[in-house]
């Protein structure tokens, strides 16, 4: 099976004026099976899962539990009950950060290239609950500095309670050695939460092999519907976690003066669920499960290498991270000097149908610390992108840079 053949599964890519869609780090395209499952839910069994016992209700419950099983298998969770459907990675990280009881002075480590979703919740805890938020500094080329990390763990010893890091940065595509980081974190009896928004869609993520405690991910970046994400946690940890949204579904029973909380995952899925979204999430993950994720990763690196080779000589631009594309997965993020990155992104679409992202990609802290207001222009590939598309982006980009210089 070639990835080009899979393009036929995507209505957007079947269109005559199909774009060279290279904004996959933001959101991916959706295959027919995902779109159809949403329409099937609304047209054939638009009921409520987990509660009503009529035919619609039972059908929805069955499909949602199949979806949960598909997600659990995809990340190698021990049990389906470790998989919570959430709105997105942001929601999942907030559920972890705000579901744990902290003491003033507890130390939480994050990185210096985190998406706001893995920075702001911890900053909020520092502001509201007096936790100490510490940042581990990366190497010059943005790769992870294990020595700095170990030193920080050592410096804070027993006060270290949580390490929360993005597995792959949306800023630069660089992946960090999570298994090693988890091993070090556990030496200090702290927990490790992994922001898998940019890893789960693009590589094998096995939560047991990595020996992590929590994983947050965005199913809309995995061919799934908008507004759907996931949270995985080791069951005993989820079982200790407070729900940040309580109400219907989150309790086993309630009295006028007390509640008995439901077991995970129901405790974290308060209110009537996005059933179409949950069912379609299962279809998306089943679609990805047919692929070999190691090959997907290699394919993206190959496209990134093509782009890198064609643009790296250009002045005044600079690729963020190592020149070696194999260290940046499918992401090529380019500092533009004084060139107008939004205008160039617009021109790429208008002139050649190439869709990329420009701006600070919700990693404001990294750009602010360097005084770079212009942000970067980011091309991010997925398995359905072709070598021709990578070349088209690179060549049109070179022309645009020349025209604006």
Residues forming the site for ligand PLP (CB under 6 A): 25, 88-90, 115, 117-118, 166, 170, 195, 197-198, 218, 229
Question: Cβ of residue 167: shortest distance to ligand PLP, in angstroms?
Answer: 8
Q: How far is 343 from 132, CA to CA, in rounded Å?
A: 40
For 63-93, give the DSSP string: HHHHHHHHHHHHTT-S-GGGEEEESSHHHHH
Q: List strand residue ranges (DSSP E) for 249-327, in order.
A: 251-254, 259-261, 318-319
Rounded Cα–Cα distance for residues 125 and 64 (Å) = 33
Q: Closest separation between CB of residue 327 and ligand PLP, Å?
A: 16
Cβ at position 109, least distance to ligand PLP in Å: 16
Q: Would you call 362 a catalytic residue per the annotation?
A: yes
CB of 24 to ligand PLP, least distance (A): 10
User: In angstroms, what CA-CA distances link 144 with 76, 136, 330?
Assistant: 25, 9, 18
Please tell me which residue in 26, 48, 362, 398 is annotated as part of the active site: 362
Pairing type for strands 191-195 and 107-111 reads unpaired
Among residues 279 and 363, whose Cβ is nearest to ligand PLP?
363
Cβ-contact 22, 389 below 8 angstroms: yes
Torsion of CA 294, 300, 306, 311, to 10 degrees: -130
Please identify, using beta-carbon distances, which residue of 197 and 293 lies nearer to ligand PLP: 197
Q: Which is nearer to ligand PLP, 82 or 195 (CB)?
A: 195
- Of the candidates 200, 162, 157, 197, the one whose C-alpha atom is nearest the C-alpha of residue 181 is 162
Q: Tell me the backbone φ, ψ of residue 241, rounded to 5 degrees.
A: -80, 140
Q: Least separation, in Å, of the C-beta of 4 and ligand PLP? A: 26
* Residue with Cβ nearer ligand PLP (45 or 74): 74
User: Closer CB to ligand PLP, residue 229 or residue 277?
Assistant: 229
Structural contact between residues 285 and 229, judged by C-beta atoms closer than 8 angstroms: no
**CB of 327 closer than 8 Å to CB of 370:** no
> Angle at the Cα of 262 (from 260 to 266), degrees rounded to 5?
155
* Residue (288 or 352) nearer to ligand PLP, CB: 288
- Provide, rounded to whole angstroms, the least separation between the CB of residue 360 and ligand PLP: 12
**Active-site positions?**
362
């Amino acid at each position: 099976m070639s990835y080009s053949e899979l393009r036929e599964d995507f209505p957007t890519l079947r269109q005559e004026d199909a774009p060279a869609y290279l904004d996959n780090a933001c959101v991916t395209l959706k295959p027919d099976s995902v779109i159809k499952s949403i329409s099937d839910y609304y047209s054939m069994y638009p009921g409520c899962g987990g509660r009503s016992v009529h035919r619609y209700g039972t059908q929805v419950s069955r499909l949602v539990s199949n979806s949960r099983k598909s997600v659990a298998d995809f990340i190698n969770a021990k049990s389906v009950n470790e998989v919570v459907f959430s709105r997105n990675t942001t929601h999942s990280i907030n559920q972890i950060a705000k579901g744990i009881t902290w003491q003033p002075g507890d130390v939480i480590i994050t990185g210096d290239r985190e998406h706001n979703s893995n920075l702001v919740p911890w900053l909020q805890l520092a502001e509201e609950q007096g936790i100490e938020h510490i940042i581990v500094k990366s190497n010059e080329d943005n790769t992870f500095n294990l020595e700095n990390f170990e030193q920080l763990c050592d410096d804070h010893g027993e006060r270290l309670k949580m390490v929360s890091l993005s597995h792959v940065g949306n800023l630069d595509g660089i992946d960090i050695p999570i298994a090693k980081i988890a091993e070090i974190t556990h030496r200090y009896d702290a927990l490790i939460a992994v922001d898998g928004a940019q890893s789960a869609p693009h590589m094998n993520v096995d939560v047991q092999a990595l020996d992590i405690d929590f994983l947050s991910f965005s199913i809309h970046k995995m061919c799934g519907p908008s507004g759907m994400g996931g949270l995985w946690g080791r069951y005993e940890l989820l079982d200790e976690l407070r729900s940040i949204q309580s109400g219907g579904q989150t309790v086993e029973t309630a009295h006028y003066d007390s509640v008995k909380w439901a077991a995970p995952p129901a405790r974290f899925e308060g209110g009537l669920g996005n059933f179409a979204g949950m069912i379609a999430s299962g279809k998306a993950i089943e679609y990805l499960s047919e692929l070999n994720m190691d090959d997907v990763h290699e394919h993206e690196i190959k496209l990134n290498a093509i782009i890198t080779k064609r643009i790296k000589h250009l002045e005044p631009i600079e690729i963020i991270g190592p020149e070696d594309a194999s260290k940046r997965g499918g992401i090529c993020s380019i500092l533009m000097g004084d060139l107008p990155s939004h205008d160039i992104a617009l021109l790429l679409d208008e002139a050649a149908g190439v869709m990329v992202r420009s701006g600070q990609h919700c990693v404001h802290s990294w750009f602010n610390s360097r005084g770079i207001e212009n942000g970067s222009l980011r091309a991010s590939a997925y398995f359905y992108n072709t070598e021709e598309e990578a070349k088209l982006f690179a060549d049109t980009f070179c022309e645009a840079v020349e025209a604006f210089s």
